[in-house]
Amino acid sequence: MSPQTSAAATTAPQVSSALRIGGYRAHFFTYLFAMMADNIEHVISYWVSFQKFHSPALGGFAVLSHWLPFLFFSVAVGALNDRFDSRRLIQAGMVLFITASLGWGYFFVTGTLQMWHAMVLLTIHGCAGVLWQTSSQMLLYDIVGPANLPSAVRLNATARYLGVLVGPAVGGAIMLALGPTRAIFVNTVFYLPLLLWLVRAPYGRNFRKDAEPPKRAVRGLEDIRRTIGEVRAIPVLGIMIVLAGAASFFIGNSYQAQMPSFAQDLGHGDPGTSYSMLLAADAAGALVAGFVLEARGSGLLKTGPASAAMLATAWGLALCGFALVRSYPLALACLFTAGFFELSTSSMTQTIVQMNAPGPIRGRVLGLFNMSALGLRAFSGITVGLVGSVTSVHASLAGSTLVFAAVTTFLLLRLRASASAPAVPPGP
Looking at CATH, the fold of the domain delimited by 219-420 is given as: Growth Hormone; Chain: A; (1.20.1250)
| Torsion 194-198-202-205 (CA) sign | positive
Which residues of the chain register pLDDT less than 70?
Answer: 1-16, 56, 208-220, 257, 268-273, 297-300, 381, 383-386, 388-389, 419-428
349-376 b/e (C-beta count within 10 Å ≥ 16 → b): bbbbbbbbbbeebbbbbbbbbbbbbbbb
Contact present, 291 and 158 (Cβ < 8 Å): yes
pLDDT for res 8? 39
Query: What is the Cα–Cα distance from 177 to 74, expressed in whole angstroms?
Result: 37
d(CA 349, CA 239): 10
pLDDT in tens, 5-61: 444 344 444 446 888 889 999 999 999 999 999 988 988 888 888 788 877 678 778
The gap between the terminal CA atoms of the chain, to the nearest Å, is 23
Global pTM value = 0.83
**Averaged pLDDT score across all residues of the chain:** 84
CA distance 313 to 407: 9
Distance CA 158, CA 344 (A): 10
Query: What local confidence, expressed as pLDDT, does residue 1 receive?
Result: 42
Cβ-contact 305, 10 below 8 angstroms: yes
pLDDT of residue 199: 94
- DSSP letters, 158-218, are HHHHHHHHHHHHHHHHHHHHH-HHHHHHHHGGGGHHHHHHTTT-S-SGGG--SPPPPP---
CB-based contact 93:37 (threshold 8 Å): no
- Determine contact, residues 313/412, Cβ cutoff 8 Å: yes
The domain limits of the chain are: 11-206, 219-420
Contact 344, 293 (CB under 8 A): yes
Contact between 87 and 198 under an 8 Å Cβ cutoff? The reply is yes
pLDDT digits over 191-236, tens only?
999 999 999 999 887 776 655 555 565 666 777 888 888 888 888 8
11-206 and 219-420 have identical folds: yes
> Residue 340: what pLDDT?
93
CATH class belonging to 11-206: mainly alpha
